Structure 1
Amino acid sequence: MGAIEESATWRHIAAPSVQDIEALSKEYDLPMYYFEGVSDLDEPSRLERLANGIFIIIDFPYVKRIENDMNLYDTFPISIIINNGKMITITAAHHEYIEEFRNRFDKSDDLERKPGIIAMQLLQYIMKSYIRDLREIREDLTHIEDRFLKRVYNEDFRKLFTLEKSIIHIKTALTGFNSMLNKMSERQYLQIETDSEMELLFDNVQIESQQASEMATIYREVLSSAMDVASSLVSNTLNQIMKRLTSVTIIISIPTLITGFFGMNVGLPFQDLSIAVLIIVVISVLLCYLTVLYLRRKDLL
């Protein structure tokens, strides 16, 4: 059976098996899809009213893996069911974030509170997790931008791509989260206005959700600008290299042209002089030198 942690008002189930889901469905007299929705990693956030409570499914941010020496962030769904005065949370796998949230509370006090309060505190914790991860993304992005001032490496493009995937995952999850909050506010699923503590927690969740959404939008725009700047820097560097190579080619072609001219089997200047070769070399060097001065003045070399 999946791992179960339980208090008087909160029951958490991680990685439930098919048998676990069937047992939970019978125990709480709810359809099985309320308990098995978390198995679909692409399950969108949503909110439904139950006969004696509510059903919430939202996405929680986590570090999926290390990619290009950076954290790749993704989200996993978590179901929150409040039914008959008890809260049930379900995740498809064991996640340390849920353990961290539980460890922040004294089981003899906070975890014995109303399930609606615990659910709202969990939503607030999730929002703080989004903000924390977005700040880490910002630090990674700032580090890459600092490297741009020196030189653009292929590794930087791979890192930017990793950051872009992370922000897309987070922004998509936040969009669904905000829609769920709006629905919760409009239809009063948890009787928010009748409980001052609940109302305060809900206001905090909304504020932090808005902050996280704005951060995700800003960082995605900054990331897009950074990728454009990186591409421009690479193009500019390539143009500079091609410009210098063209200038070098012009300089090299001067002695080639002169020696080719004096290599013709016809009467030529200096052909009867013993120092003809020296004269040709001096002329070639002088013309090359003058060409170099001209190209440098025109910022072509």
Structure 2
Amino acid sequence: MARTRLYRNGVLEAEDFPPEEISAHLRDDALTVWLDLGAPTEADLALIASELGLHELAVEDAVHSRQRPKLDRYDTHNYLTAYSVALDPATGQLTTAELGMFVTDRAVVTVRPGGGFDIDAVMRRWDELSHLAKNGVGFLLHGLLDYVVDTHFTAVQSLDDLIEELEDTVFDEKASAPESQRRALALRKSLVTLRRVVLPMREVVNTLLRREDNAIDQAMVPYFQDVFDHVLRASEWTESLRDLVTTIRETQLSIQGNRLNLIMKKVTGWAAIIAVPTAITGFYGQNIPYPGLGQPWGFWVSAGSILLVGGGLYALFKHRDWL
């Protein structure tokens, strides 16, 4: 179901009016309109495109989801794509929700393919910053982008905490190695997904901040600069965490290899010790006469040789930390 808002000179005047009335409202220069289409059909977008004069390529991008975060400029409007994110701390998996935005000089139309984007949170943010509503479209656009970037920042903070917990388990011999490796791979996958939606946002917000574009009022520039600062911090943080997870993964593999070498070293040492009695008893098991054959002292010589040589090898290997 479509949702609408109407601002007159910075004051919220009407909500949830029929979308068919938008073109009539836009005849009044004092009005700013917001329309949310949720997950619209091609027919819904065609109707809005005809009323607002939207470019066919922008409409095509809105119809076909999974676009990369971007800002496309057309003669009468801009089209933005962004993604909010949410992290599940239990599994370390990151989910994304796409948002498309048509931005004209006095109207903003949002498209939410899949319906995963929390538009109610954006509306609450608009209500909290209602003193900025007099800035028209810039106010609406700031609320949308500020919410999107805040989800990025929240996700990267949560990932940082999870990665710190993972670091603590790297040298813990009681921790399950397969579980730690699965956790590391899940976090790395989430960071790759987060990086894909965070890094392009730098160019999106930076383009909006360029004064020659006239996309936002001068009064809103400091607020967009604050959003841009959060974008930079989130992107740099994401890059550093991505490198850190890679280092943790390499450390896990190194520790696993070292433990395998240690096991092989111990097994080889014990094999060498066991080879001594095997060789001696095998020698005395020959069907030919040998010293001590049929004599008690022959048994004691062979037993003493086993204990002496085996004990010597054990002491030598233990001294060299091979066992």
The residue aligned with 2:202 is 178
4+ runs deviating over 6 angstroms: none
Contact 2:2 2:37 in 1 (8 A): yes
Q: Deviations over 1:224-250 (max 9, x none)?
A: 111110110110011011111101111
Find the aligned partners of 1:111 and 1:93 in 2 and give their Cα distance. Answer: 30
2:4 aligned to 3, 6, 18, which one? Answer: 6
Find the aligned partners of 2:48 and 2:132 in 1 and give their Cα distance. Answer: 21
Find the aligned partners of 1:47 and 1:126 in 2 and give their Cα distance. Answer: 15
The residue aligned with 1:227 is 249
Change (3 A) 1:239 1:39: farther
Contact 2:97 2:116 in 1 (8 A): no
The residue aligned with 1:140 is 162
Find the aligned partners of 1:49 and 1:41 in 2 and give their Cα distance. Answer: 18
Change (3 A) 1:191 1:23: closer
Find the aligned partners of 1:108 and 1:283 in 2 and give their Cα distance. Answer: 90
Shift of 1:109: 4.0
Shift of 1:96: 4.9
Change (3 A) 1:71 1:23: farther
Higher relative contact order (CA 8 A, sep 6+): 1
Shift of 1:260: 0.9
The residue aligned with 2:222 is 200
Secondary structure at the aligned position of 1:181 is classed as helix
Find the aligned partners of 1:139 and 1:70 in 2 and give their Cα distance. Answer: 13
2:40 aligned to 16, 40, 48, which one? Answer: 16
1:104 aligned to 125, 130, 134, which one? Answer: 125
Change (3 A) 1:185 1:27: same
* In the alignment, structure 1 residue 48 sits paired with structure 2 residue 81: no
Find the aligned partners of 1:107 and 1:123 in 2 and give their Cα distance. Answer: 15
Q: Which residue identity does 2:275 align to in structure 1?
A: S
Find the aligned partners of 1:72 and 1:207 in 2 and give their Cα distance. Answer: 26
The residue aligned with 2:15 is none
* In the alignment, structure 1 residue 92 sits paired with structure 2 residue 90: no
Find the aligned partners of 2:163 and 2:172 in 1 and give their Cα distance. Answer: 15
Q: Which residue identity does 2:230 align to in structure 1?
A: E
Unmatched tracts of structure 1, length 5 or more: none
Find the aligned partners of 1:74 and 1:49 in 2 and give their Cα distance. Answer: 28
Q: Deviations over 1:14-45 (max 9, x none)?
A: 11122212222222221344244245444122
- What does residue range 237-252 of structure 1 map to in structure 2 within 5 Å? 237-252=259-274
Q: Deviations over 1:211-234 (max 9, x none)?
A: 011101100110111111011011
Secondary structure at the aligned position of 1:7 is classed as strand
Find the aligned partners of 2:70 and 2:117 in 1 and give their Cα distance. Answer: 23
Identity %: 20
Q: TM-score, normalised by structure 2?
A: 0.82
Find the aligned partners of 1:41 and 1:295 in 2 and give their Cα distance. Answer: 65
1:164 aligned to 188, 209, 230, which one? Answer: 188
Q: Deviations over 1:142-174 (max 9, x none)?
A: 112111121361222222122112111221222
| Count of aligned positions | 294
Find the aligned partners of 1:264 and 1:109 in 2 and give their Cα distance. Answer: 100
Contact 2:84 2:96 in 1 (8 A): yes
Contact 1:12 1:88 in 2 (8 A): yes
Shift of 1:75: 3.4
Q: Which residue identity does 1:242 align to in structure 2?
A: M
Q: Deviations over 1:95-115 (max 9, x none)?
A: 253222223343994695412
Change (3 A) 1:33 1:75: farther
Q: TM-score, normalised by structure 1?
A: 0.88
The residue aligned with 2:20 is none
Secondary structure at the aligned position of 2:231 is classed as helix
* Greater alpha carbon shift after TM alignment, 44-53 vs 235-244: 44-53
Secondary structure at the aligned position of 2:210 is classed as helix
Find the aligned partners of 1:182 and 1:111 in 2 and give their Cα distance. Answer: 21
Secondary structure at the aligned position of 2:111 is classed as strand
- What does residue range 113-124 of structure 1 map to in structure 2 within 5 Å? 113=134, 114-124=136-146
Change (3 A) 1:164 1:272: same
